[in-house]
Structure 1
Amino acid sequence: MALSYPTDISDEQWELLLPLLPGAKPGGRPRKVDLRAVMNALFYIVVAGCAWRMLPHDFPNWKTVYHDFRVWRIDGTWETIHAKFVSWERVAQGHQAAPSAASLDSQSVKTATPAAIAVGFDGGKRVKGRKRHLMVDTLGLVMLVVVTAANVSDQQGARLVFKRLAAVSQQIARLVLIWVDGTYEGVDFMKWTMDTYRWILETIKRSDDAKGFVLLPKRWVVERTWGWLNWSRRLSKDYEVLPETSETFIYVAMIRLMLRRLA
């Protein structure tokens, strides 16, 4: 199949991805739109950053593409595919499928849609918008992301991340240690994490004397992940009405990255 855009899926990538996509529902009309074309459109949107209605005409109708994207967000398809790819990529790099250590960080970004819900002001970063709370493994692969209003503190966001992560048994089977920065520091919070989940939080701080960019041990991995996500223009700001949609686009961006590596 000839590739029209740099984001198009190759034959090898499609062979890997197709078995993980939902099949047609029984009793309904046969699907008329090619699933591969839908996935090409979604990867184009996340990388190019265009609006749904500005999807080029050689892709399926934007309403069809959005419908599949939304349905797969609601039924958990994107998270299922993402989790499968994470385990495959870890094994491919010589690691066990489940990590024993992780890094947690947050990023405040401006919102670009007046209709967006769950919007707040981060006084520390001076940003009005949303905050992305991101947990990654030692390879920088996303384990889980939660998007909140920007005025939600890092510790409050971490509690949300931990609660969701605790429900995904295959990802936390071996998890023991989580590296964090100074915003998560505090005896009460660290004790609560240990008592509730049996996870140890280790704070890695930058020196007070350091100036400019400093490569922090262990935690540089999560900073690299932010860099990977920065290549997806849809994530340069938060363009979504729902925070759940913002989370899904991060999973889609990571699925594309891992798909290129695995195939």
Structure 2
Amino acid sequence: MSEQTERLPYPSDLSDKEWKLIEPHIPNPPTNRGKKRVHPYREILNGIFYLLRSGCAWRMLPHEFPPWQTVYHYFRLWRLYGIWERINAALRTELRIANGREPEPSAAILDSQSVKTTETRGVRGYDAGKKVKRRKRHILVDTTGLILMVVVHAANIQDRDGAKLVLEQIKGTFSRLQLIWADAAYAGQLVDWVKITCGWVLEIVRRKDDVKGFQVLPRRWVVERTFGWLGRYRRLSKDYEGLTESSQAFIYAAMIHIMSRRLAKIEPLSR
């Protein structure tokens, strides 16, 4: 493992190829300000990805990594400056192009996932369906399941209102976007709101009444698969974060980890 400190690797560590894909998107601070950085960015990222995959607390980060305070500092700093979103967008574009697609999507799928919270302070709400205090993760993905936008909010916000929080943020971002698929929870006035406010078509994918039990719904399975990918990261099994912004950053970080591994299998090492 070149460019790596002397230690045994963890399964979540970045390979040389994966690091070369992410490295150009990590901002370097001005050289004439502050202390000189001691720990390499690659090891800081490895610490964040270890925490994501293992589900451990910051203070339980193995000692082979930089001090947990340093790793947390950069996670927070990159959250504040929107770096996680930018890396997610850059790798998503690269992966779409590598798969023979246009850089931007013309269609997307919308859905939410309700997750339990812990005793950590922060925004949460009562989910009447699950009868427990939770948060909701609202995600918009392209037709391959790559995340376009994430918004985490209290579970007492209805899906239609949560959808507006997502769609208002991406309005004007994706010039090719025309169509969004969603389930019956988003039917009703939201369809007209999307058309009038955003200029997109919101198409509701409904279950067939004559089919009992589980059924795979067209297009809807794509976003469910994305939630399945995120489920491999134990830090996301519940919402442990005090701030919803940190919850969103961890979801983007998980997708960055997933996409870098896929791209590394396609891209040559020299860039």
TM-score (structure 1 length as normaliser): 0.95
1:88 aligns to what? 94
Count, aligned residues: 258
Residue 111, structure 1, aligned to residue 117, structure 2? yes
- Partner deviation per Cα, 1:135-194 (whole Å, 9 max, x = no partner): 000000000010000101001101100111115x2xx110000000001000x2211110
SS in 2 for 1:207: coil
- Partner deviation per Cα, 1:43-92 (whole Å, 9 max, x = no partner): 10111110000000101100000000000000011100000011111111
TM-score (structure 2 length as normaliser): 0.92
Matching residue's letter, 2:92: V
Structure 2 regions of 5+ residues with no counterpart?
3-7, 265-271
Residue 33, structure 1, aligned to residue 33, structure 2? no
Residue 191, structure 1, aligned to residue 192, structure 2? yes
2:49 aligns to what? 43
Identity of aligned residues (%): 53
- Runs of 4+ off more than 4 Å: none
**Cα distance 1:162–1:43, how it changes in 2: closer, same or farther (>3 A)?**
same
- Partner deviation per Cα, 1:72-127 (whole Å, 9 max, x = no partner): 00001110000001111111111101000000000100001x23311001112333
1:175 aligns to what? 177
1:130 aligns to what? 135
Contact 2:127-2:133 at 8 Å conserved across structures: yes
Contact 1:177-1:201 at 8 Å conserved across structures: yes
* Deviation at residue 207 of structure 1 after TM alignment: 2.1
SS in 2 for 1:147: strand
Contact 2:105-2:177 at 8 Å conserved across structures: yes
SS in 1 for 2:20: helix
d(CA) in 1 for partners of 2:211, 2:256? 36
d(CA) in 1 for partners of 2:144, 2:230? 14
Contact 2:194-2:201 at 8 Å conserved across structures: yes
d(CA) in 2 for partners of 1:107, 1:16? 30
Residue 5, structure 1, aligned to residue 6, structure 2? no
SS in 2 for 1:213: coil
Residue 147, structure 1, aligned to residue 148, structure 2? no
* Deviation at residue 206 of structure 1 after TM alignment: 1.3
2:267 aligns to what? none
2:22 aligns to what? 17
Contact 1:104-1:222 at 8 Å conserved across structures: yes
SS in 2 for 1:99: coil
- Aligned match for 1:70, one of 53, 69, 76: 76
Contact 2:120-2:240 at 8 Å conserved across structures: no
* Deviation at residue 214 of structure 1 after TM alignment: 1.0
Structure 1 regions of 5+ residues with no counterpart?
none
* Deviation at residue 17 of structure 1 after TM alignment: 1.2
- Aligned match for 1:79, one of 60, 85, 88: 85
* Deviation at residue 213 of structure 1 after TM alignment: 2.1
Matching residue's letter, 1:198: G
Contact 1:24-1:30 at 8 Å conserved across structures: no
Contact 1:206-1:216 at 8 Å conserved across structures: yes
2:262 aligns to what? 261
d(CA) in 2 for partners of 1:222, 1:192? 22
Matching residue's letter, 1:254: M
Matching residue's letter, 2:177: L
